[in-house]
Amino acid sequence: MTEHIGANDARQALRAVEDERRRVIDEVDLPRWYWWGLAIAWILLGVATDVGNVWITSAATLLFGALHAAVASRLFSGRHKSSQLSVRASTVGRRLPLILFASILLLAAASIVVGFAVDADGAEHASTIAACFAATAILCGGPTLMASIRRRIA
């Protein structure tokens, strides 16, 4: 027995499917706490560098790298914005971790350039100032980058 679906019913069904697809794509993101944690850690690393003790700077750098590697290995897939939904890997794509990693490398390079420029200008806490620049870029640019990636997925 075949049941015929009217044009209005078909449109409503397709609209419902599209709404659900967009809801899933909206879940492709990193948790807000990641951006805040990364920004705060970056500033703390800048402050540790300004302290001037090579042991403190080295320990802070290693701790920052280890903690970020542990967190990023889980989050950089973009599939776990919240505990409510885990997006399929095929929906997100394979390039997201690469894009995020490249963004952090570019931000590190920009921090170094800003730090040297601020130091050349005579500022006393060049690393902290550069880290604040990076933290601002993280808090503003991270969510914007993820929104751009979600638009591409859609």
pLDDT tens per residue across span 70-100: 888 777 765 555 565 565 555 556 777 788 8
Instruction: Provide the pLDDT for residue 133.
Output: 95
Cα gap 129→123, rounded to integer Å: 9
Burial state string for 141-151 with b = 16 or more CB within 10 A and e = fewer than 16: ebeebbeebbe
Higher-scoring residue by pLDDT: 11, 111: 111
- pLDDT category, 18, cuts 50, 70, 90? low
Cα gap 104→68, rounded to integer Å: 11
Cα gap 154→151, rounded to integer Å: 5
Task: Specify whether the CB–CB gap between 58 and 48 falls below 8 A.
Answer: no
In eight-state DSSP terms, residue 79 is -
Instruction: Provide the pLDDT for residue 11.
Output: 78
Instruction: Provide the pLDDT for residue 32.
Output: 86
- pLDDT category, 108, cuts 50, 70, 90? very high
Cβ contacts of residue 39 below 8 Å, gap of 6+? 134, 135, 136, 138, 139
Average pLDDT over residues 49-63: 90
Instruction: Provide the pLDDT for residue 39.
Output: 95
Residue type, 134: A
Average pLDDT over residues 21-27: 64
Cα gap 81→33, rounded to integer Å: 10
Integer angstrom CA distances of residue 154 from 27, 31, 32: 12, 20, 21
- pLDDT category, 111, cuts 50, 70, 90? very high
Average pLDDT across the chain, whole number: 82
Instruction: Provide the pLDDT for residue 30.
Output: 78
**Given a cut of 80, is residue 107 above it in pLDDT?**
yes
